[in-house]
Amino acid sequence: MCGILAFFSSRGEAGAQRDAVAGALECLHHRGPDETGVEVVDADAVFAHKRLSIIDVESSHEPLSYADGRYLLTFNGEIYNYLELREELARDFGAKFATQGDAELVVAGFHHWGELMLPRLRGMFAFVIWDRQERRAFGARDYFGIKPMYYLETGDGVFLASEKKALLPFLAQEVVDPASLSHYLTLQYVPEPRTLHEGIKRVGSGELFRWTPEAGIDVVRWYRPVFRPSPTDDPQKLYDRIRETLRDSVRMHMRADVPVGAFLSSGIDSTAIVALAREFNPNILTFTVGFDVDGYSEIEVAQDSARHLDVTTIPTVIGPQDMMEALPRIVWHLDDPVADPSLVPLYFVAKKAAEQVTVVLSGEGSDEFFGGYTIYREPLSLHAVQSLPDPMQRGLRAVSKVIPQGVKGKSFLERGTTRIEDRYYGNARMFAEAEKRDLMRRNDGSVRYTDVTAPIYAECADLDDVTKMQYVDLHTWLRGDILVKADRISMAHSLEVRVPFLDREVFDVASILPVELKLPPRSTATKYALRRALEGVVPPAIVNRRKLGFPTPTRVWLRGEMYEWARDILATSGAGDLLDLSYAQRLLDEHKRGTADHSRKVWTVLVFCVWHAIFVERSLDPGIQRNPSALLTKPVVGSMVR
């Protein structure tokens, strides 16, 4: 796992940016504290790299050259089938390798297979390759967007980096993008490919880029997940395939030359990963987190699971003071705000894990693949209304409009007479369009969530409504929230998180599940097929345990211990030119009085205010230790230093 930063000059003046690139690389030190490398390639490129050594620890230094210096690579991620692919390249092409690692496999694969190398890779990755012979750059992100990549085009060329903060020194003018802010206030994250800074974009999940000095950068999609639900006469055969595919994925994800642990919560996903990982390492360490508030801690259940599986779990308990103190550091690491309160417990459990291991396994992706969110049952509950003729639906819609707000049945009729494309835009729903008109200083209503979701729905128009919701979440919620927090918060502690569910082989079997095997019509269960597949693998008490979703007690603490802290943030924030903070204060006060639960809305504004103070006002020091690398305190000798 690493931090990458590269610059390609359209004017043949890359060397002039060498020191600036090396300096900007230091804000990525947490991503790779083991080694630092910076290289100027002819007059065309500067490659900079921060390495967290996981595989081939003593070798595989980066930037990594290949084919007698024709190519240079900077790579972030892990390729789990690298041993098999290295053998294939050696057998078919006589490929030679100078290292024992997976990074060299990537550049060798590009040399021999070209862009067709990408679908052969099984893993998580974001990388940049420079071809000195052709004077062209190539790079890509993995299938589901586990590893990040940002880019900035300027008059001098293009910069690419693992985190946005490394590109800020090269941005001519820092302007908050109002459309991205609007989306954030609805979704609680900024959707790809946008960022909150105008001019900086993301290479999207499953996308590649090509760059030449003449044409600039061209970003295109190389992978699109396709759901193809199919009926089956033998469900048990599918359950067996799910279990064995996941077992193989866990086995592959445990390849490392450093200690591997796992996160463990009260749910089936992380418990399944731990149970399967234990088959390959009976001594695997696990880590769990909870709160000192009744009803919000998963530690006791996780400890029961650990005893059942005969593994050690190390708990971490956090309180409101921990949450308040850590938030600025968390927001700094995120680059753009993500208003998911579960970031805070994740920050502390990752910190604890990093004291013991370098890699952890985690259960992200299961819900999007197998139908794990309770809201996915909504199309089933609304079927009776949605199957009515259009005139009857219009009549019921008219009735819903005259029913007073809060009266039982109003929401059901509204949702039942609204198309899924207009009703569902992901798991997080913060501020409605009408509320944003009160909150945002500049909002003409031209930016809507459908700007994000409409193209996604167009791609899955032939699917049933449940599977459409999964597809939308794969392209929005998973990429914008779940995987952003997994990458940034783990890397904040130089810890690599691996996600065995988010494996192309696992998706292949998940993608064919019919709706009735994900959400049985006469049951309240979610991801039914996965639960059946894991019987006998996870403890019986966990197989049918309902999803909790990493609950955090912000609702409780914003009425008590965190109220004055939140009030002070709103009162002193310089974001008042973008948001009406008095409106947010009214929400906070109503929440404190208990007249409404505004905790998620208030938290969304608070996180943005902290982000604004750090990145726009520069009035808040997040308290990040930025000790310069030895590389940058020594004289530079030649074009290559490590």
Query: Annotated active-site positions, please?
Result: 2
Q: d(Cα 450, Cα 456) in Å, to the nearest integer?
A: 9
Count of C-beta atoms within a 10 Å radius of residue 615? 22
Residue type, 126: A
Using CA atoms, how far residue 414 sits from 385, 399, 403, in Å, is 10, 9, 10
Q: Could you identify the residue written with the tokens 């820092």?
A: 174
Dihedral sign of CA atoms 573, 576, 579, 581 in order: positive
Q: State yes or no: 363 annotated in a binding site.
A: yes
Q: d(Cα 615, Cα 607) in Å, to the nearest integer?
A: 12
φ, ψ dihedrals at 128, nearest 5°: -135, 130
Q: d(Cα 403, Cα 412) in Å, to the nearest integer?
A: 11
Q: d(Cα 299, Cα 308) in Å, to the nearest integer?
A: 14
- Locate 107 and state its tokens: 């550049």
φ, ψ dihedrals at 160, nearest 5°: -135, 145
Q: What is the 3-state secondary structure (H, E, C) of 413-455?
A: HHHHCCCHHHHCCCCCCCCCHHHHHHHECCCCCCCCCHHHHHH
Which stretches does DSSP call E strand in 53-141?
64-66, 71-79, 123-131, 136-141
Q: What is the 3-state secondary structure (H, E, C) of 126-182?
A: EEEEEECCCCEEEEEECCCCCCCCEEEEECCEEEEECCHHHCHHHCCCCCECHHHHH
Q: For residues 227-265, b (16+ Cβ closer than 10 Å) or e, as one string?
A: bebeeeeebeebbeebbebbbebbebbbbbeeebbbbbb
Task: Using DSSP bridges, classify how beta strands 64-66 and 150-154 pair: parallel, antiparallel or unpaired.
Answer: unpaired
Beta bridge partners of residue 218, listed in sequence order: 210
Q: State yes or no: 362 annotated in a binding site.
A: yes
CB 528 within 8 A of CB 550: no
Say which residues have a Cβ less than 8 Å from residue 602's Cβ, sequence separation at least 6.
558, 566, 584, 587, 588, 591
Q: d(Cα 249, Cα 532) in Å, to the nearest integer?
A: 18
Count of C-beta atoms within a 10 Å radius of residue 207? 20
Count of C-beta atoms within a 10 Å radius of residue 34? 15
Dihedral sign of CA atoms 6, 12, 18, 24 in order: negative
- Please list the alpha-helical segments (H only) found in 371-525: 378-381, 383-386, 390-402, 410-416, 420-423, 433-439, 450-459, 465-475, 477, 483-491, 504-510, 515-518
Q: Could you tell me which residues are annotated as the binding site for ATP?
A: 289, 362-363
Residues tagged in the binding site annotation:
102, 289, 362-363
